[in-house]
């Protein structure tokens, strides 16, 4: 719950520090004094949008700090643990600083955070109900949110939302593939022709380089063979003179000379070895020439293969060496397009199953909504009677459209119906309820739902507009009763509501040296009597008004103690 609030240079507040207690707290004050200033500051501290106008004129920045006791708030504690923002105890300090240029900084327990993180944590701390809340009550989506909030069937809502997203994602994929398939029809035909052509040619990895080398060899085979035969004569086979016989002769001569000078023995050895090498080389050349035949047919085959590869490469505007990789690439592309057809068939089945899952989840949610709607009908009708609408009947109408296009909320249409007079048929709120009646119905719904949702701190900002007399007293009792289990803060102009509170703040405006200042002061017993007397009788507080104020306060205290 909220235990402390400090405001500096925010709007018309220069410096304000307040302490808050459990139970019901009323905030009253003169018209235009800024009774809602604390609520506005809290909203800012809980992540609402920051504007430069929030900074007090002549100040560089506005600052709001709110301190909370988290002893009975496990969700808030879990949030802090998850984001490593826990300070080790059961208290939490939120801080928001707004500069005059409109930029802001946010802090949780001294650590810098984003405004969205403040907002996320804020939902576990405070629920603010503004004076225009009844206007939202006329919207169907808000009515459904209220019903779901009271029901608390978050698992069912999440299940519907999850199954809807699954269904929507599958449908999105199906439409995308369907459009893609239509666009790729011509592309598929071209790819089928290209792949078939390359499949038929069946060029292998590195084959082009190999046939290119073989073609070069075959096209020069005549020259190679003639040269080999000629050189074989020079090296070994010529009867007149050849390199091998000359080397053998020289080796023999130097062997004989080595008898006279041993230093020439090495020369003789080298020449002998050279003769052996020449003889070996000649043998290799002879084998080559014997095994090599001129093969015009093979040359023709290689030429055809080479020219075929080059023609295909030119056709696809690539190098011949890239043909194999290109072939694999377009084959994969064709396979992907072909797989789309298979995937479309598979998706049709998945979409059908996803729709069935969605309908089952939505049906369970509808049943739960109907159950809790019946409970709410009774509770709100009873509350209307307590708020001076004795003959009022409230009913939540739920209609299911099983053929409705799936959405994240299920297939329920909701409408809040009301009858405020005997014999009057139930009709939608907007057609039947007056402004005051709508405010009372809205307040009854907010209080009932708040009791079920168990928000730690509830703030009602002039939700009693349009209410007076006995009804105002009933509203006060309702809020005080709620304050027994939840911290309730209520900005009000009604003495009947203010006198119901356990404690009270008074907001006053002061003008000094051309500047406006707003103060918010806690009232003691006598202060409360004087303030409620002012609300009853105006600025001129009479003894009678004071007596009435005292009686109001005592009446509410005694009523609750019974």
- Summarize the confidence of residues 228-242 as an average pLDDT: 83
- Summarize the confidence of residues 306-330 as an average pLDDT: 89
Predicted local confidence at residue 561, as pLDDT? 47
Q: What percent of the chain has pLDDT over 70?
A: 94
Cα separation, 357 vs 166, whole angstroms = 10
343 or 53: which leads in pLDDT: 53
540 or 92: which leads in pLDDT: 92
pLDDT at residue 562 greater than cutoff 50: no
- Summarize the confidence of residues 241-249 as an average pLDDT: 87
pLDDT at residue 146 greater than cutoff 90: no
Spatial CB neighbours of 236, under 8 Å, sequence gap ≥ 6: 242, 243, 244, 278, 279, 282
Predicted local confidence at residue 191, as pLDDT? 78
Predicted local confidence at residue 558, as pLDDT? 66
Predicted local confidence at residue 502, as pLDDT? 93
pLDDT at residue 526 greater than cutoff 70: yes
- Binning pLDDT at 50, 70 and 90, where does residue 559 land? low
CA torsion angle 316 320 325 331 (round to 10): 40
Predicted local confidence at residue 536, as pLDDT? 86
Predicted local confidence at residue 435, as pLDDT? 65
pLDDT at residue 528 greater than cutoff 50: yes
- Summarize the confidence of residues 217-221 as an average pLDDT: 78
Look up residue 263 and give its DSSP letter.
G
Question: Domains in the chain, please, with CATH?
Answer: 1-125+456-562 (3.40.50.300), 186-336 (no CATH)
539 or 528: which leads in pLDDT: 528
pLDDT at residue 342 greater than cutoff 80: no
pLDDT at residue 224 greater than cutoff 90: no
| Tens digit of each residue's pLDDT (9 = 90 or more) over 148-184 | 988 989 899 999 999 999 999 999 988 888 877 766 6
Predicted local confidence at residue 89, as pLDDT? 83
175 or 342: which leads in pLDDT: 175
- Ranked by mean pLDDT, the top range of 271-280, 420-429, 478-487, 504-513 is 271-280
- Nearest CA to 446 out of 146, 29, 35, 106 is that of 146
DSSP H stretches of helix in 454-542? 469-482, 495-498, 525-537
**Long-range contacts of residues 73-76, Cβ cutoff 8 Å, at least 24 apart:** 73/124, 73/125, 73/456, 75/124, 76/121, 76/124, 76/125
Summary mean pLDDT of the chain: 85
pLDDT at residue 339 greater than cutoff 60: yes
pLDDT at residue 539 greater than cutoff 80: no
Please state which of the ranges 83-87, 204-208, 342-346, 365-369 shows the lowest mean pLDDT: 342-346
| Tens digit of each residue's pLDDT (9 = 90 or more) over 252-263 | 999 988 888 888
CA distances from 396 to 84, 429, 444 (A): 43, 11, 14
pLDDT at residue 513 greater than cutoff 80: no
Q: What percent of the chain has pLDDT over 90?
A: 30
CB atoms within 10 A of CB 274: 16
Which neighbouring-strand residues pair with 125? none
């Amino acid at each position: 719950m909220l235990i402390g609030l400090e405001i500096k240079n925010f709007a018309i507040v220069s410096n304000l520090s307040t302490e808050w207690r459990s139970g019901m707290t009323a905030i009253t004050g003169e018209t235009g004094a800024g009774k809602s200033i604390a609520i506005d500051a809290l909203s800012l501290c809980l992540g609402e949008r920051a504007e430069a106008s929030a900074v007090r004129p002549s100040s560089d920045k506005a600052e709001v700090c709110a301190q909370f006791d988290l002893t009975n708030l496990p969700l808030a504690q879990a949030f802090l643990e998850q984001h490593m923002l826990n300070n080790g105890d059961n208290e939490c300090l939120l801080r928001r600083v707004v500069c005059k240029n409109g930029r802001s900084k946010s802090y949780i327990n001294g650590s810098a955070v984003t405004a969205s993180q403040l907002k996320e944590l804020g939902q576990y701390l405070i629920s603010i109900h503004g004076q225009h809340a009844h206007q939202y009550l006329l919207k169907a989506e808000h009515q459904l949110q209220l019903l779901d909030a009271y029901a608390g069937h978050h698992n069912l809502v999440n299940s519907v939302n999850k199954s809807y997203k699954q269904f929507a994602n599958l449908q999105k994929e199906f439409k995308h593939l369907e459009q893609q398939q239509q666009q790729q029809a011509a592309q598929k035909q071209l790819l089928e022709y290209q792949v078939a052509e390359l499949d038929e040619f069946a060029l292998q990895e590195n084959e082009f380089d190999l046939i290119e080398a073989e073609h070069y060899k075959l096209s020069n085979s005549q020259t190679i063979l003639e040269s080999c035969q000629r050189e074989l004569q020079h090296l070994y086979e010529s009867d007149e003179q050849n390199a091998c016989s000359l080397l053998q002769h020289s080796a023999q001569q130097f062997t004989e000379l080595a008898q006279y000078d041993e230093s020439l023995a090495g020369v003789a050895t080298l020449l002998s070895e050279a003769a052996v090498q020449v003889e070996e080389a000649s043998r290799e050349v002879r084998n080559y020439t014997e095994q090599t035949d001129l093969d015009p047919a093979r040359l023709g085959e290689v030429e055809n293969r080479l020219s075929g590869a080059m023609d295909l490469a030119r056709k696809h505007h690539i190098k011949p060496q890239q043909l194999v990789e290109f072939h694999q690439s377009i084959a994969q592309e064709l396979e992907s397009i072909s797989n789309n057809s298979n995937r479309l068939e598979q998706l049709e089945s998945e979409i059908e199953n996803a729709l069935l899952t969605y309908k089952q989840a939505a049906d369970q949610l509808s049943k739960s909504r109907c159950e809790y709607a019946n409970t709410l009908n009774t509770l709100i009708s009873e509350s209307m009677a307590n708020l001076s609408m004795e003959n009022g009947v409230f009913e939540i109408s739920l209609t299911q459209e099983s053929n409705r296009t799936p959405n994240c909320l299920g297939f329920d249409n909701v409408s809040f119906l009301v009858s405020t007079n005997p014999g009057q048929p139930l009709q939608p709120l907007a057609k039947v309820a007056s402004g005051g009646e709508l405010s009372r119905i809205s307040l009854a719904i907010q209080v009932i739902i708040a009791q079920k949702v168990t928000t730690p701190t509830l703030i009602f900002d002039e939700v009693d507009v349009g209410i007076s007399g006995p009804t105002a007293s009933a509203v006060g009792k309702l809020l005080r009763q709620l304050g027994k289990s939840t911290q309730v803060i209520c900005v009000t102009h009604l003495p009947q509501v203010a006198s119901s509170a356990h404690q009270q703040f008074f907001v006053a405006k002061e003008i000094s040296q051309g500047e406006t200042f707003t103060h918010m002061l806690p009232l003691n017993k006598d202060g409360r009597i004087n303030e409620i007397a002012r609300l009853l009788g105006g600025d001129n507080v009479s003894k009678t008004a004071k007596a009435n104020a005292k009686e109001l306060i005592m009446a509410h205290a005694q009523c609750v103690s019974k």
